[in-house]
Amino acid sequence: MSRKGEQFAGLTVALVTPFRDGAVDEQALRQLVDYHVENETDVISPVGTTGESPTLTHDEHERVIAIVCEQAAGRVKVMAGTGSNSTAEAIRLTKYAQSVGADGSLLVAPYYNKPTQEGFYQHYKAVAEAVDIPIVVYNIPGRTAKNIEAETIARIGEIDNIVAVKESTGSMDQASQILARSDLTILSGDDSLTLPLLSIGGSGVVSVVGNIVPRDVQAMLAAYRNDNMAEAQEWHAKLFPLCRDMLGLATNPIPVKAAMGMLGRDTGEVRLPMTPLDDAQKAALQQTLTAYGLL
């Protein structure tokens, strides 16, 4: 079965937003884009969860999207985070992303409001009708407080320019239901579940750990595509402790920014209400990075 959204198959990296002295570090952001071009990342996704979008002002949110699209310059696809718990705001952000050249939108489920399933449908329909770019549904009930049920996602997927879902429920059953009921492309929203999701019909990952080791994530995806399951499993096992620390030591993106700081690729600065790792967490992360061979 051919699926919509295959242009977003492979590795999408959920970009961090670099800060320096409390402000967005625009030079560092441009360097991150270049890094992913050099490392042959398929897609970059600015201002999602990992990009600390809830702490950015509206102007900063738009500026980050504009910089990433400008710096990408067609060398890597851009899937911009444009979600909001206000439908009108999501429409405005998605229109803006389209206007500056984004290849697609990553649209998180409206958080805090806890819409009905009909509310979810009408929200995505309204945004999709306002733009021409493809939209990826981002379902992460652990953050948004409510699940978009598989039946609703399949219904949303009947809208022409809604092409994929970033599946962050952790439920293989839900992913299987979506695959069975729709022609949407499914992308893993959890690094540690990428290989299991591929095995049931997923097409890639929106990755946090890809900020640090994009080529290794690509190697796992390539091994799976080439029917080399043993190699894919080896990569999964190697990546797993790093994936676990990125989400387990503290709330994303605190650990990944700390890791990038240790590797000399970011200040590691986060904005309140996010706070830095404590000494014990730093030591654990350092140990994982050393064991991986990065330090």
Active site residues: 138, 166
Which of 112, 64, 55 lies closest to 272 in space, CA to CA?
Answer: 55
Phi, psi (degrees; rounded to nearest 5) at 184: -75, 145
Q: How far apart, in Å, are the Cα atoms of 168 and each of 32, 33, 122, 263?
A: 24, 24, 21, 27
Q: With H, G, I as helix, E, B as strand and everything else as coil, classify residue 231.
A: helix
Pull the structure tokens for residue 109: 């489920």
Reported as type and span, the H/E element at residue 197 is helix 194-200
Phi, psi (degrees; rounded to nearest 5) at 71: -70, -35
Pull the structure tokens for residue 135: 């939209």
